[in-house]
């Protein structure tokens, strides 16, 4: 695969870009983002998709991270909150990602991978469920756009830092609150992390 397909690794770290500003979370909610409730059921459904992706064609997720229910739930919630953070950061800067841009990025990677089924397998190995592919590409495009708006490449250290700052600002604006059952907030990582925390990069 070419470098473009390699960029499909953007935002796949399981504990990236989730924030909590403190305060109680409503019963039955995993998080509150801009006053909008992310339900436990929504997190469970997303986690199920991640488990299916981790299992792959064999249907066996094994005994590693794919089989870690707590890790999958944390990652699922991270991705759900990330959707809102990226969207808010873009809106605050007057930026947007078009449907055509998402479709074009997916089509290019699909051609490089050798077809839709092959691309789905590649992304599944990286933890992207089939139903989440368009969301995944939209997030990637948004991250790149946020960095590019400052004349930076999201794949560089400077670009990564700039995007983290943008998402931290978005999290503050949205007053994100997360149930402590999913971990703890790390200000410097801009991440929801288990205890003890593990360091991850925004873009790799």
* Domain boundaries defined on the chain: 3-193
The topology under which CATH files domain 3-193 is Triger factor/SurA peptide-binding fold (1.10.4030)
- The mean-pLDDT minimum among 12-26, 32-46, 109-123 falls in 12-26
Which tokens go with 34? 């801009």
Residues 5-13, mean pLDDT to the nearest whole number: 39
| Radius of gyration of the chain measured on its C-alpha atoms | 16
204 in Cβ contact with 17 (< 8 Å): no
Examine the pLDDT at 152 and tell me if it is beyond 50.
Answer: yes
User: Would you say residue 12 has pLDDT above 50?
Assistant: no
Q: Which helix (H) or strand (E) holds 46?
A: helix 40-55
- Quick: pLDDT tens for 32-78: 888 899 999 999 998 998 888 877 665 554 434 444 788 888 888 88
Report the chain's mean pLDDT, rounded to a whole number: 79
Q: Could you tell me the two tokens for 78?
A: 């991270």
| More confident: 29 or 156 | 156
Could you tell me the strand order of the sheet in which 36-39 lies?
36-39, 29-33, 177-178
């Amino acid at each position: 695969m070419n470098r473009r397909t390699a960029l499909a690794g953007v935002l796949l770290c399981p504990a990236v870009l989730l924030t909590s500003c403190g305060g109680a979370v409503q019963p039955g909610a995993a998080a509150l983002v801009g006053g909008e409730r992310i339900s436990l059921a929504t997190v469970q459904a997303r986690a199920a998709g991640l488990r299916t992706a981790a299992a792959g064609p064999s249907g066996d997720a094994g005994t590693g991270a794919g089989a870690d229910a707590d890790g999958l739930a944390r990652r699922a919630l991270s991705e759900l909150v990330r959707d809102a953070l990226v969207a808010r950061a873009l809106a605050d800067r007057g930026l947007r990602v078009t449907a055509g841009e998402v479709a074009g990025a997916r089509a290019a990677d699909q051609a490089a991978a050798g077809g839709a089924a092959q691309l789905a397998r590649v992304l599944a190995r990286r933890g992207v469920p089939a139903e989440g592919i368009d969301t995944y590409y939209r997030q990637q495009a948004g991250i790149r756009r946020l960095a590019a708006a400052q004349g930076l490449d999201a794949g560089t250290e400077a670009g990564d830092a700039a995007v983290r700052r943008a998402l931290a600002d978005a999290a503050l604006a949205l007053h994100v609150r997360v149930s402590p059952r999913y971990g703890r907030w790390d200000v410097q990582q801009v991440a929801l992390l288990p205890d003890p925390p593990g360091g991850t990069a925004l873009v790799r």
